[in-house]
Amino acid sequence: MSAVEQAADLDVRPLTGALGAEVRGLDVETLDDEGFATVHALLLEYSALALHGQGHLTVPKLREFGLRWGKLDVHGFTPFQGFDDVLQIRADPDRPLVTEQWHADATWQELPPKITMLLARRLPAVGGDTMFASQYKAYEDLSDAMKAFLDPLDVEHDGRIIDPTLTNKSVTHPLVIRHPETGRKAIFVNLNYAQRVVQLEAHESRALLDFLFLHCSRNRYQARFRYEPGTLVIWDQRCLLHAGAADFINEVRELHRIAVMCDERPSR
């Protein structure tokens, strides 16, 4: 039985052929074990979900929902409301910053996040969406010869490229990982942190990474999520890249973020 069939009492609307679905008709605060299992199944099927109508969630309740998925990531920035695993993401006229570059979160860590959640609190009148790109699809579109070339390679990820205070060393992850729950393969590189293919010479590594950065964000792999006040977007970091749309001016975009750590290191 598919996740959609399990969720027959919900309004589940797929967004694109690549990934993503909008879901209405649930309250994550009151989900029983069966309801949680349905949301989990939907996430594995669609890779990213927009759960509308969650604006009543307090920060502690958002954390409680996150903890049902696993241990929360401590991001290392300013604690929000006393919680060092909650991040306020805000863009406004004085600080109009939105991460437009395609990336996955904190892959410079040995145990990076497996799931990230953004709860929309304040939104511009138009714009401020989040876009996603399926790394399952990006891998599956490659030729058999390219897959065979990429599968045994490893990539060095380094957080110091973004912030020198994040870490004192780089980490290495497989270039292609196998999702521990779905069993599907996904490309695991991103512009923020992937610096070098370990087995290649520098110029070879640069050429390959540049190709992959472009390939992995092709339109055919994408879905665009439009927030409503109270939308909780949840996505699987193990098989997606994401980017924010900085397409609003002189308005406020404010979201609360939590992330759930991987249970084990990304692997083949």
Q: What is the pLDDT of residues 47-93, one digit of tens each?
A: 999 999 999 999 999 999 999 999 999 977 777 888 999 999 999 99
Question: What pLDDT does residue 165 have?
Answer: 76
Q: Which residues have a Cβ under 8 Å from the Cβ of 108 and sit 6 or more positions away?
A: 157, 158, 159, 160, 166, 167, 170, 171, 193
Question: Which residue has 């084990």 as its token pair?
Answer: 264
* Res. 148: pLDDT tops 90: yes
Q: What is the pLDDT of residue 226?
A: 97
Residue 1 predicted with pLDDT over 80: no
Distances (CA, A) of 231 to 23, 209, 210, 237: 10, 34, 34, 19
Q: Each residue of 195-243: pLDDT tens digit?
A: 999 999 999 999 999 999 999 999 999 999 999 999 999 999 999 999 9
**Tokens 């929000």 found at:** 80
Check if the beta carbon of residue 240 is closer than 8 Å to that of residue 48.
yes
Residue 140 makes CB contacts below 8 A (sequence gap 6+) with 185
Q: Per-residue pLDDT averaged across 113-121, rounded?
A: 98
Residues above pLDDT 90, as percent of the chain: 86
With beta carbons less than 8 A apart as the criterion, state whether 231 and 51 touch: yes
Give the mean pLDDT of 166-176.
92
Whichever domain contains 249, its CATH number is 3.60.130.10
Domain count, the chain: 1
pTM > 0.85: yes
Q: What is the pLDDT of residues 71-83, one digit of tens each?
A: 999 977 777 888 9
Q: Residue 96's pLDDT band (boundaries 50, 70, 90)?
A: confident
Residues 251 and 247: their CA atoms lie apart, in Å, by 10
Range of the domain at 92: 1-268
Q: Which of 58, 34, 36, 20 is nearest to 235 (CA)?
A: 20
Query: Does an H or E element contain 48, and which?
Result: strand 48-51
pLDDT-derived band of residue 249, with 50, 70 and 90 as boundaries? Answer: confident
Q: What is the largest CA-CA distance in the chain?
A: 54
- Is pLDDT of 2 > 80? no
The band of 145, judged by pLDDT with boundaries at 50, 70 and 90, is: very high
The pLDDT mean for the chain works out to 94
Residues, the chain: 268
